[in-house]
Amino acid sequence: MDIENKLKGRDFISIHDFSEAEVAYILAVGLQLKQERKKGIAHPLLAGKTLGMIFQKSSTRTRVAFEVGMYQLGGHALFLSPRDIQIGRGETIKDTSQVLSRMVDGIMIRTFDHEEVMGMACWSSVPVINGLTDLLHPTQVIGDMMTILEHKGRLRGLKLAFIGDGNNVANSLLFGGAKVGMDVTIACPAGFEPDQEILKLARQDAAETGASLKVVESPWEAVNGADVIYTDVWASMGQEQEAEEKERKFAEYQVNKSLLSKAASDAVVLHCLPAKRGKEITDEVMDGPQSVVFDEAENRLHAHKAIMALVM
């Protein structure tokens, strides 16, 4: 069975669930769809299909990328906030999933608790896409890897340094790097490390591709010779009450010109956005010549289109 047939009908919850070849194929399709879009070539691969989008968390890039992506693929997207559907009044994930999957062709859910996505997938008869949970953000990392491929021409053997909180993006970068043979080092203060079970699983994947996965405290150690520098907000959505404390503990984890100077001379800088400029990243770096932050944001659209086109 070819890869495309193997992907059809699958849930997209974690990059860990996919083989190295499958991840490479998703990236290739994303880049192809981007090139076609730039050339004005229509690709109505999901004509007549509908995506139900459940947003328990606010969003700019994820919502726009999925909504515009479905339009460009010839389909239709339905935005469903907790205020709009009965899940906001206590209807169970089980019931919501069973009802929606009889009406739509795919479900995207962006929420806090990862178990909600797992429950949605368990009871849905159509593919479920994880648009973000507190544990993982896999669609983001597909866009990230597309961006690195565009600027570096490869992923295998590159060194990526993530500076900041060991959050959902850091967890998914571990999975992503492990699958494609890219070394990933997470630099974070003690007590803010990535999920240990995620790290264990990612290292199992890395054993097959030769990727090196490390967690260190020193951002200087992490960025030494790195090809890619990645950062994110220190306090994720839902953690705003921790922002002040984290600003104190993460003061040495800012991606600035001094830190960037320790990376490879042609290193690129990524940030999944939104950014707290002047906190985790300076204007000088984010708007500088090594920043590919807005290419990365654009690639969310093409990454999401590839995922939807392949699983739906």
Residues acting as catalytic residues: 110, 137, 140, 232, 272, 300
Beta pairing class for 228-231 and 268-271: parallel
Are 77 and 64 contacting, i.e. CB atoms less than 8 angstroms apart?
no
If you count them, how many residues does the chain have? 312
- How far from 295 is each of 7, 72, 143, 148, 259, CA to CA, in Å? 26, 19, 9, 10, 22
The candidate with the shortest Cα–Cα distance to 306, out of 55, 107, 65, 53, is 65
DSSP string, 153-184: S--TT-EEEEES---HHHHHHHHHHHHHT-EE
The candidate with the shortest Cα–Cα distance to 155, out of 210, 109, 114, is 210
- How far from 39 is each of 29, 34, 42, 69, 296, CA to CA, in Å? 15, 9, 9, 16, 19
Q: How far apart are the C-alpha atoms of 260 and 134, rounded to whole Å?
A: 28
Residue type, 294: F
